[in-house]
Homo-oligomer: A and B are copies of this chain.
Amino acid sequence: MVIALLTDFGDYYPGVMKGVIRRISGAEVVDITHSVKPQNVLEGAFLLYNAYRFFPRDTVFVAVVDPGVGGRRKALAIKTENYWFVCPDNGIAYPSASGDGVVEVYRINEAVSELVGELSSTFHGRDIFAPAGALLKEGRLEERYFSPLTDAIVELDLFDLTISKSGVRAMVVHIDRFGNVVTNVRRELVERASPEGVIFNGLEIPLVERYEDVEVGEPLALIGSFNTLELSIREGDFASEFGVGFGPVSLRWIR
């Protein structure tokens, strides 16, 4: 039984969350990542969506990218077919939860912070989400802490892009340590267009199946482990070389 954490907190804050979790629960804690780009809910949602199904049944995911911390956004606990998702109501866990099948939605009450002994306005990871996750791991879905929610929650579409005959306007949703640029263009869309390559910023890039299909140092496009289109340089760093950041990106098909 695992509690899995995904945040934009970087270092230290997750360590404190683990202390809180261990005081309430015997659960093992697994870090998915704490390096989501600060405030980037879309990246957080995309990374969670591509991680959750690899975890065992009954995992409790605590996913916190939370620009609205301390404000009026709700704190949620979402029960799905196989998992629990604990998160702010900003869409971060929506693609994962709806992918697995939402069963019930609860609002987390601030009372959970009594178990921590603190309620700051800046660190609900520690004061709200960590104790809520630990309670659910222990099966303690208590009224004091969780209220059934019937209001709509925030929905987020990971694959919202503009498709034309000549190409696609998509989003860069993740850049990994190797400088691979991960987009939200899905395998199915690429297979339907069946191009031989893509044009990005005037650069012609071949679409290949594996890195070894081009020479070391050459750019390439492929369907990566997220099952979406990625831009890479074999044994190089595409993002640095071409100055690519997060956000919108235009790609034209080469046919």
Interface residues of A (CB under 8 A from B): 2, 4, 6, 8-13, 15-16, 18-20, 22-23, 28-35, 38-39, 47, 50-56, 59, 67-72, 116-118, 120-123, 126-127, 174, 176-178, 180, 209-212, 222, 224-225, 230, 235, 237
Which are the 6 A-B pairs with shortest beta-carbon distances?
A10-B177, A123-B225, A15-B32, A70-B210, A19-B54, A19-B55
**Chain B: minimal CB distance from A223 (Å):** 8
Q: Copy number in this complex?
A: 3
In the complex, the chain B residue whose C-beta lies closest to that of A177 is B10
Q: Which residues of B contact A224 (CB under 8 A)?
A: 120, 122-123
Q: Are A18 and B30 in contact (CB under 8 A)?
A: yes
Instruction: Give the residue of B9, B67, B69, B212 whose beta carbon is less than 8 angstroms from that of A70.
Output: B212
A211's closest neighbor in chain B, by CB?
B70
Complex Cα gap A129–B51 (Å): 16
Given contacts A11-B33, A33-B12, A225-B118, contact A126 B54 (CB under 8 A): yes
Q: Is the CB of A12 within 8 A of B35?
A: yes
A sample of 16 inter-chain contacts (CB < 8 A) reads: A8-B177, A10-B178, A12-B174, A15-B31, A16-B32, A16-B54, A22-B56, A39-B235, A68-B212, A72-B212, A121-B209, A121-B222, A122-B180, A122-B210, A123-B224, A126-B225
Give min CB distance, A86 to chain B, whole Å.
16
Asked if residues A33 and B15 are in contact (CB atoms below 8 Å), the reply is yes
- Of the candidates B9, B30, B47, the one whose C-beta lies within 8 Å of that of A22 is B30
CB distance from A69 to the nearest CB of B (A): 7
Complex contact A22–B55 (CB within 8 A)? yes
Do residues A20 and B54 form an inter-chain contact, with CB atoms below 8 A? yes
Given known A16-B50, A176-B12, contact A30–B30 (CB-CB < 8 A): no
A167 to B94, CA, bound (A): 46
Taking A11-B33, A69-B210, A123-B224 as known contacts, 4 extra A-B pairs with beta carbons closer than 8 A to each other, sorted by chain A number, are A16-B50, A38-B235, A70-B209, A70-B211
Residues of B within 8 A of A212 (CB): 68, 70-72
